[in-house]
Structure 1
Amino acid sequence: MSHGLLPYTVEVVPDADGLTSRAGLPLVLETMRALGLPRVIREQVRVRERQSGYTEVAKIEALVLLLAAGGDCLDDIAVLQGDGGLGRLLGRRFPSADTLRHFLYACHDEQLIAQAQAQRPPDRVAYIPAENAALQGLGRVTTALVHQVAAQGRSTTATLDHDATIQESHKREALPHYNGGRGYQPTAVYWVEQDLVVADEYRDGNVGAGMETLPLIRRAFASLPFTVTTYAFRADTACYDERTLQWLADPARPGGPRGRIGFTVGADMTAQLHAVCAAVPEARWALFEERPDETVHCAEVEFTPGDWPKLAEPLRYVALRIRQKQGQLFASRADTKYLALVSNRWELPPAALLRWHWQKAGTIELVHDITKNELGAAVPPCGRFGANAAWYRLSLLTYNVLSALKSLALPPALSTARPKRLRFTLFTLAGRLVTHARQLVLRVSAAAERLAGLIAARARLALVAQALPAG
């Protein structure tokens, strides 16, 4: 025996379907089915040219399982294909990587890209292509999931957080982004109270986060269930656009819910706004927080953006003054920096409003972190824009499925678990498959079941499925 090796040998046996190293992974598929997603997929996503072969349901389920299991490229499906016991539990074989790749290709349309290029203004380089029917269908699957999960508790409040992120890519088709690299810059909108992504829009890297933000925001609010009666919205300076602000502030807004949307949006620090902030008397600045190298104060400032309608509700501006300690300077060579946000929420003191706005860092920004680092969203699969958009949307759908699994079926100890924790604790359980009285039985150790709660989770999902409408 070589030094350093444990006292056993490895023996390779013929492939068998009596064992699996992923006994908990079928919960992901069972969550999708308990929420009625197969029916929605059949109705909304149609790309097959022939009736033979894998259905759209089988392909989307396989992609979600792949991402949930930790795969970050299509070729990783071979790992799941190699788990014969998993295939037996699922009652199917996994599609090949090529089959899944062609499904993603069906979400791409060169004509829509050419149309977007032709319709852009002469002075603009960037454009946002329309989505084809298959990609739109995937979006409706997400909306259906959101409605089904929200129906479990009849949610009445929706705080939507908006943010863009960068996907680095070295594909030839990837375009330069503002950080100096190349890639894509998708945007997502997240429902805080439900831990669900409600809408997304895929963009090339050269499309600024502030370009045409309102269509996605409208779509996000339109995706909410009718039970929601209280609305809120948070975003960074990408949404500091007069058209977007007017829509948010208008209780009779076109294409959106009636009534108030309480919002905060980061304000562009224009020369005019900077001058207003700098002119605030010292006595009006209130201490916000002391940092190791900075002192931060906040104050109300009077400012009106652009051609703000005279009859519209006035907006509230809250400024931050950040001063370096001990003679340090910012990159601008000044020792003082100003930030500001705009809001229609007058009921909160300035400090409370700022803290409410900054909670966004632990919501949508965390979603970007999880989807990119744990659910495959950081790696666009190819150079086709629509295929990459579908992959990103499927990553967000996987996030939502795992969120639903946690809220509807898993024990409280796993309610905030990230995907890597779910894999370690639940998805990668070892199991033995046997047949007893013509019934397939999955055997897991008592110790593993105590940690994972697999039996109880399946029972809870069965109750959710029973509540689905017939058909």
Structure 2
Amino acid sequence: MCDQKTIINGVKQTMTQGVLPFKYEEEKSQTGITALASLPVYLDLAKVIGLSKSIQKHLKIRENSQGWTDPQMVLSLVLLNLAGGDCVEDLKILEADEGFCEILRKSEMQGLKRKVRRALERRWRKEKKRSVPSPSAAFRYLSEFHDTEQEKTRDQTKIKAFIPRPNDHLKGLVQINKDMCAGLNTVNPKKTATLDMDATLIESSKQNARYCYKGFKSYQPLNTWWYEQGVILHTEFRDGNVPAGFEQLRVFKKSLDCLPENVEKIKLRSDTAGYQHDLLKYCETGESERFGRIEFAIGCDVTRSFKIAVAQVPDSEWQPIYKDKNGKRMKTGSEWAEVCFVPNELCHSKNAPEYRYLAKRQLLEEQSPLPGMEDPKLPLPFPTMQMVEKRYKVFGVVTNIGYEEMNGEDLIHWLHERCGKSEEVHAVMKDDLAGGKLPSADFGENAAWWWIMILALNLNVMMKKLALDPSMEATRMKRIRFSIINIPGRIIKRSRNLFLRLSKGHPSYVVLVEARKRIAMLNGVWEPSG
């Protein structure tokens, strides 16, 4: 055991620090050691994509103030997300990493003219000692995104679903993300954007949080994910009591406004929350001036009238759904069929759009009962119906994609592609990054925290797509941290340069050097939108 001498009541006593033969001691001087040896590579990427310039352009909170600038504030919170911090207080841990802070200080001044460097130094009345903002400074900064007038409107209105109007600062975060997406589509161009819209619940005990449909307090942001690029194109932070489909057309239009100029075609996928007839009509009739008609596949409500139409489908018209497993085509146990169905909402107009409806069914007897649902009299958490003395789980789809363009089985597979991926992205937001732990009882502060988490998420996606080995593109954030970010290193100063030294033979050394080379090649190619 490792012993330690301690004076208690004037008497020296030997105390054991632990049961194993080692003990912790504090360095007697700053050593330049960092536990985040690879986090500076994200500073490289942020520099090349002009993230600081975009923040400076679209956020004016600290423009004429003393102390921390807008880029310093936002980048510190982005880096906090990437490093694994999940609350504002974790900025203290980031500040305690002397080696990383040394690189951060050096990086902030790199390439700046002397006049600009002097102006940054004059923002501080006293000598600047910190490298990242303190938690109290970060809280004050986040409070600028909250609009108290909107909260007064919330209290006055009797409307259950209320979405506070974002102030100019929150709109600035939208524009920053738009710049990032535009730059990504410049170096990795995609002419088609398949947009997956989905909401996620963030459980919260905050005083002002509202109860969601599942019965607990939460917030429920509505996210638009760009499938081809793997980034969040747009998000709208919402209270937990706001239904996912509430004003979805308005959010969809905002998402379209965030797309880069070189995108030519749009496709939309959504669950039943997107089954809004104003949204379907907008897509089918080509009301978008820029994109015209938009193809979609959306889950439809399994209403009583829809069940009647499904029951009229002859058993011979139900076709099996297959999946590929180890190169073989195997039945999944589910079947699909075209359904002749016109919803009541469209019956009153001769000029109403016509859509294609499909149904998917799965025999319940082939499934094991859900935990707690063994009693056949209990209601199931999904639509069911009786057909030919058999009970089926039923799922509906509405689309404007024609028969000749995509058969029913392929269309159902295409729609279901969004399911697993959107759930994975939501898990990354809330578990791997800081989206699952909101900092405040004020709506605007939480909305800003969520948006900054999105910037960190998309920056990491760009790192995997543009700088890391292609084999790492599907790697989860926690794996990226373990294998790349959270590795030890020592900062060495020599000839006015900084050297970040890793342990000999560390497998991440080659990965990091190659990543920096790829990032350097992007310099001058990256063209964010104006």
Q: What TM-score range do you get, normalising by the shorter chain?
A: over 0.9
Matches within 5 A, 1:77-88: 77-88=91-102
* Amino acid aligned to 1:38: S
* Amino acid aligned to 2:83: A
Q: Which moved more, 1:52-61 or 1:107-116?
A: 107-116
> Which residue does the alignment assign to 1:236?
271
- The answer to whether the 8 Å contact 1:36/1:465 transfers is no
Q: Which moved more, 1:4-13 or 1:69-78?
A: 4-13
> Which residue does the alignment assign to 1:262?
295
Unmatched tracts of structure 1, length 5 or more: none
Q: 1:104 to 1:230 in 2, by over 3 A?
A: same
> Which residue does the alignment assign to 2:364?
324
> Which residue does the alignment assign to 1:345?
401
Q: Distance in 2 between matches of 1:12 and 1:326?
A: 62
1:95 aligns with 2:133: yes
1:396-429 superposed Cα distances (whole Å, 9 cap, x missing partner): 1111000001111112232222111111111112
Shift of 1:288: 2.4
Tell me how many residue pairs correspond in the alignment.
463
Matches within 5 A, 1:413-432: 413-432=471-490
Q: Which moved more, 1:317-326 or 1:83-92?
A: 317-326
Match of 1:111 among 149, 159, 175: 149
> Which residue does the alignment assign to 2:88?
74
* Amino acid aligned to 2:92: A
Q: 1:269 to 1:191 in 2, by over 3 A?
A: same
* Amino acid aligned to 1:280: V
> Which residue does the alignment assign to 1:65?
79
Shift of 1:165: 0.4
Q: Which moved more, 1:259-268 or 1:179-188?
A: 259-268
* Amino acid aligned to 1:343: T
Q: After TM superposition, what 4+ stretches of structure 1 lie above 6 angstroms from structure 2? A: none
1:217 aligns with 2:256: no
Q: Distance in 2 between matches of 1:12 and 1:313?
A: 72
Q: Distance in 2 between matches of 1:249 and 1:280?
A: 26
Q: Distance in 1 between matches of 2:24 and 2:155?
A: 58
Match of 1:160 among 186, 195, 199: 195
* Amino acid aligned to 2:397: L
* Amino acid aligned to 2:406: L
- The answer to whether the 8 Å contact 1:17/1:88 transfers is no
> Which residue does the alignment assign to 1:356?
414
DSSP-derived class of the 2:165 partner: coil
Shift of 1:28: 1.9
- The answer to whether the 8 Å contact 2:224/2:235 transfers is yes
* Amino acid aligned to 1:141: I
Shift of 1:70: 0.7
Shift of 1:259: 2.9
Q: Distance in 2 between matches of 1:31 and 1:310?
A: 55
1:64-105 superposed Cα distances (whole Å, 9 cap, x missing partner): 000111111100111111100110011170100111111111
Q: 1:56 to 1:354 in 2, by over 3 A?
A: same
* Amino acid aligned to 2:476: R
Q: Distance in 2 between matches of 1:15 and 1:392?
A: 38
Q: Distance in 2 between matches of 1:69 and 1:310?
A: 58
Q: 1:94 to 1:339 in 2, by over 3 A?
A: same
* Amino acid aligned to 2:314: P
Q: Distance in 1 between matches of 2:246 and 2:465?
A: 35
- The answer to whether the 8 Å contact 2:281/2:353 transfers is no
Shift of 1:116: 5.4
Q: Distance in 1 between matches of 2:516 and 2:243?
A: 44
Q: Percent identity?
A: 32
- The answer to whether the 8 Å contact 2:297/2:397 transfers is yes
Greater Cα radius of gyration, structure 1 or 2: 2
> Which residue does the alignment assign to 2:11?
none
> Which residue does the alignment assign to 2:52?
38
Matches within 5 A, 1:115-130: 115=153, 124-130=159-165
Q: Distance in 1 between matches of 2:151 and 2:398?
A: 35
> Which residue does the alignment assign to 2:426?
368
1:287-314 superposed Cα distances (whole Å, 9 cap, x missing partner): 2269xxx942211001123127644552
Q: Distance in 1 between matches of 2:100 and 2:234?
A: 32
Matches within 5 A, 1:434-453: 434-450=492-508, 453=511
CA RMSD of aligned residues (A): 2.4
* Amino acid aligned to 2:148: E
Shift of 1:42: 0.6
Q: Distance in 2 between matches of 1:78 and 1:421?
A: 24
Shift of 1:114: 3.0
Matches within 5 A, 1:258-407: 258-288=291-321, 295-305=333-343, 306-307=345-346, 310-311=350-351, 313-325=353-365, 329=376, 331-332=378-379, 335-346=391-402, 347-407=405-465
Q: Distance in 1 between matches of 2:456 and 2:49?
A: 13
- The answer to whether the 8 Å contact 2:186/2:527 transfers is no
Shift of 1:272: 1.1
Q: Distance in 2 between matches of 1:185 and 1:162?
A: 13
Q: 1:289 to 1:466 in 2, by over 3 A?
A: closer
DSSP-derived class of the 2:261 partner: coil
Q: Distance in 2 between matches of 1:402 and 1:343?
A: 33
Q: Distance in 2 between matches of 1:278 and 1:143?
A: 46
Q: Distance in 2 between matches of 1:221 and 1:17?
A: 50
- The answer to whether the 8 Å contact 2:186/2:526 transfers is no
Q: Distance in 1 between matches of 2:87 and 2:262?
A: 38
1:136-162 superposed Cα distances (whole Å, 9 cap, x missing partner): 101110000000111002221111100
Q: Which moved more, 1:410-419 or 1:263-272?
A: 410-419
Q: Distance in 2 between matches of 1:430 and 1:452?
A: 15
* Amino acid aligned to 2:49: L
Q: Distance in 2 between matches of 1:198 and 1:101?
A: 26
DSSP-derived class of the 1:154 partner: coil
- The answer to whether the 8 Å contact 1:158/1:193 transfers is yes
Q: Distance in 2 between matches of 1:415 and 1:386?
A: 33
Q: Distance in 1 between matches of 2:225 and 2:281?
A: 21
Unmatched tracts of structure 2, length 5 or more: 3-15, 107-130, 324-331, 370-375, 386-390
1:153-193 superposed Cα distances (whole Å, 9 cap, x missing partner): 22211111000000101111111001111111111001111
Q: Distance in 2 between matches of 1:229 and 1:186?
A: 27
Shift of 1:447: 2.3
DSSP-derived class of the 2:396 partner: strand
> Which residue does the alignment assign to 1:208?
243
Q: Distance in 1 between matches of 2:202 and 2:243?
A: 13
Matches within 5 A, 1:132-147: 132-147=167-182
DSSP-derived class of the 1:377 partner: helix
Shift of 1:332: 3.5
Q: Distance in 1 between matches of 2:103 and 2:63?
A: 29
- The answer to whether the 8 Å contact 1:330/1:336 transfers is no
